[in-house]
């Protein structure tokens, strides 16, 4: 066997390396499968991480360039970078609050896109590089993913504002045309090394600018879709880097991330009843006011009345939103659920696909509080049961329960499927005040005759509510 391998120009190390990539790819698939369910998501992360670790180790020790493995000095530099990055990542991930998880996802996504862009930038002027088109695509896509993710991080963290202007759409189209023209010019004509380097840096700057302007006009209500789309772009850029280096592990990993992100993006667009193009150019969340119509007075509810109403109900539905995350109220919410269930009340959580600031934000938040996955019910499954619900408790959610999506054609969220909280028999809304949601429009559910407002910090209100129910 060894003789045959040597005759075809490969070594045993090459065979082991390729086989390790196959094992890594299988572990990626198993990891993705496990991550499709909250109860096995941690196991899925471990499988995928071990697969990536295997690919990294075998590449470091067995990959050959011009017949030579990596030098000792370069190997030590790579190992040092891996160790430093791993320690830094662990520290950041452990210290970050759940409310800042969307920002962390955007930041990590930016690093992936930036790394892929740097690979392409370094390799384009390499005479040995035979994948010019793939390299340029990796440079452009990686740069867009990097700068776009950094802007998404800034918007989510409140450091960057929105730019809502008609000219941004035309500017972005113009930038895409210019980027495409530069790429065609670079590919269609022969250039010396200096010219290739200059053009590649020009393309880098153009792509970075486009990434910034691509995300800037998009309103906060569309951030879950944007994060998912940028994640898909990072995966595609990583796959391009894999093609440059003929590295099957990078190609497969990038394809998995890119395709998963693309599928999730389309599913979330479907959940909002909008096309991806409309999300990108529609500037949803920019504060459209809808029609100016009369609304009644806000009616409040006391803690004692709320506790009685909940304790003597048969069915209660809790609709969590970003306010729940901000208040870190998920643990108290679970305590309330257990208390009500001990009194014979059926309690479920209604999960809207785009609630929060990233895909699956509410699922992750409630899983942290050990809320059983069986209690998390998707929008399409919970809506038919809403008319039979005695009390719907809305904790920090706004746009995902706004009836304007159903009955106000002038509203920017018109046509978006919502959780039909307005159909339940009673509604309790927990909010700090009467501020508008991330879409920037009035929610007339708060003025409904069946709605009662319980103002205050969600965590404090829930704790007091729990105490009141215990005393009944």
- Domain contains 73: no
- Domain contains 364: yes
- What's the half-sphere exposure (Cβ side, CA atoms, 13 Å) at 249? 23
Question: Is 111 found in the same domain as 255?
Answer: yes
- Domain contains 169: yes
At residue 4, does pLDDT exceed 50?
no
Domain count across the chain: 2
Predicted pLDDT of residue 289: 45
Question: Is 231 found in the same domain as 105?
Answer: yes
Question: Is 227 found in the same domain as 340?
Answer: no
Model pTM above 0.75:
yes
Question: Is 358 found in the same domain as 265?
Answer: no
Percent of the chain at pLDDT > 90 equals 35
Q: For residues 283 and 166, what is the distance between their CA atoms, to the nearest angstrom? A: 10
Better-scored residue on pLDDT, 126 or 288: 126
Average pLDDT, integer, range 414-429? 89
Question: Is 118 found in the same domain as 250?
Answer: yes
Q: Answer yes or no: are the C-beta atoms of 333 and 395 closer than 8 Å.
A: yes
Predicted pLDDT of residue 369: 85
Question: Is 352 found in the same domain as 274?
Answer: no
Average pLDDT, integer, range 207-234? 86
Predicted pLDDT of residue 111: 92
- Domain contains 236: yes
- Domain contains 162: yes
Work out the mean pLDDT of the chain and round it to a whole number: 84
- Domain contains 293: no
Predicted pLDDT of residue 366: 87
Q: For residues 272 and 279, what is the distance between their CA atoms, to the nearest angstrom? A: 10
Residue 368 — very low, low, confident or very high, per pLDDT cuts 50/70/90? confident
At residue 279, does pLDDT exceed 80?
no
Q: For residues 307 and 472, what is the distance between their CA atoms, to the nearest angstrom? A: 8
Kindly give the interhelix angle for 361-368 and 101-124, rounded to the nearest 10 degrees.
120
Handedness of CA 170, 176, 180, 186 (dihedral sign): positive
Question: Is 336 found in the same domain as 234?
Answer: no
Question: Is 449 found in the same domain as 315?
Answer: yes
Q: For residues 412 and 96, what is the distance between their CA atoms, to the nearest angstrom? A: 33
Q: Answer yes or no: are the C-beta atoms of 217 and 163 closer than 8 Å.
A: yes
Percent of the chain at pLDDT > 70 equals 88
Q: Which neighbouring-strand residues pair with 184?
A: none
Q: Is 449 a catalytic residue?
A: no
162, 222, 385, 399: the catalytic one is: 399
Question: Is 309 found in the same domain as 281?
Answer: no
Predicted pLDDT of residue 287: 43
| Residues with Cβ within 8 Å of residue 71, at least 6 apart in sequence | none
Which of 1-10, 152-161, 165-174, 376-385 bottoms out in mean pLDDT, i.e. has the lowest?
Answer: 1-10
- Domain contains 187: yes
- Domain stops at, among 286, 312, 336: 286
320-333 tens-digit pLDDT: 988 888 888 889 99
Which of 6-10, 62-66, 428-432, 439-443 bottoms out in mean pLDDT, i.e. has the lowest?
Answer: 6-10
User: CA gyration radius for the chain?
Assistant: 26
Average pLDDT, integer, range 27-41? 85
- Domain contains 174: yes
Question: Is 193 found in the same domain as 323?
Answer: no
At residue 164, does pLDDT exceed 70?
no
Residue 420 lies in domain: 303-470
């Amino acid at each position: 066997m060894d003789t045959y391998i040597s005759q075809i120009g490969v070594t045993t190390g090459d065979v082991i390396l390729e086989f390790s990539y196959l094992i890594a790819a299988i572990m990626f698939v198993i990891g993705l499968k496990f991550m499709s369910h909250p109860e096995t998501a941690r196991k899925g992360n471990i499988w995928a991480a071990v697969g990536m670790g295997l690919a990294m180790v075998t590449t470091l020790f067995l990959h050959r360039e011009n017949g030579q493995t990596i030098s000792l000095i370069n190997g030590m530099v790579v190992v040092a970078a891996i160790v430093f990055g791993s320690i830094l990542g662990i520290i950041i991930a452990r210290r970050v609050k759940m409310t800042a998880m969307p920002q962390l996802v955007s930041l990590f996504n930016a690093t992936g896109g930036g790394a892929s862009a740097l690979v392409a930038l370094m390799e384009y002027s390499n005479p040995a590089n035979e994948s010019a088109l793939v390299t340029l695509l990796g440079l452009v896509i990686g740069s867009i993913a990097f700068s776009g993710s950094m802007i998404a991080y800034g918007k989510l963290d409140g450091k960057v504002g929105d730019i809502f202007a008609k000219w941004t759409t035309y500017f972005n189209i113009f930038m895409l045309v210019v980027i495409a023209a530069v790429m065609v010019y670079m590919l269609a004509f022969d250039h010396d090394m200096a010219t290739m380097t200059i053009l590649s840096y020009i393309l880098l700057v153009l792509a970075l600018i486009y990434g910034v302007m691509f995300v800037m006009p998009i309103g906060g209500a569309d951030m879950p879709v944007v994060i998912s789309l940028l994640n898909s772009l990072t995966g595609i850029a990583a796959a391009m880097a894999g093609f440059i280096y003929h590295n099957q592990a990078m190609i497969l990993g990038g394809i998995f991330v890119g395709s998963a992100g693309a599928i999730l993006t389309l599913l979330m667009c479907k959940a909002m009843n909008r096309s991806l193009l409309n999300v990108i150019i529609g500037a949803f969340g920019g504060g459209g006011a809808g029609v100016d119509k009369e609304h009644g007075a806000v009616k409040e509810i006391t803690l004692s009345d709320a506790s009685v109403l909940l304790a003597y109900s048969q069915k209660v539905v809790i609709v969590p939103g970003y306010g729940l995350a901000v208040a870190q109220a998920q643990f108290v919410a679970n305590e309330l659920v257990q208390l009500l269930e001990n009194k014979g009340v059926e309690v479920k959580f209604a999960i809207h696909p785009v609630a929060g600031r990233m895909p699956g934000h509410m699922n992750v938040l409630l899983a942290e509080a050990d809320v059983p996955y069986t209690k998390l019910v998707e929008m399409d499954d919970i809506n038919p049961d809403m008319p039979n619900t005695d009390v719907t408790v809305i904790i920090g959610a706004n746009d995902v329960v706004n009836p304007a999506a159903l009955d106000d054609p002038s509203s920017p969220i018109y046509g978006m499927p919502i959780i039909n909280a307005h159909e339940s028999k009673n509604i309790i809304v927990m909010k700090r005040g009467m501020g508008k949601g991330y879409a920037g429009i009035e929610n007339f559910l708060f003025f409904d005759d069946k709605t009662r407002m319980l103002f205050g910090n969600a965590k404090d209100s829930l704790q007091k509510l729990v105490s009141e129910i215990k005393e009944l």
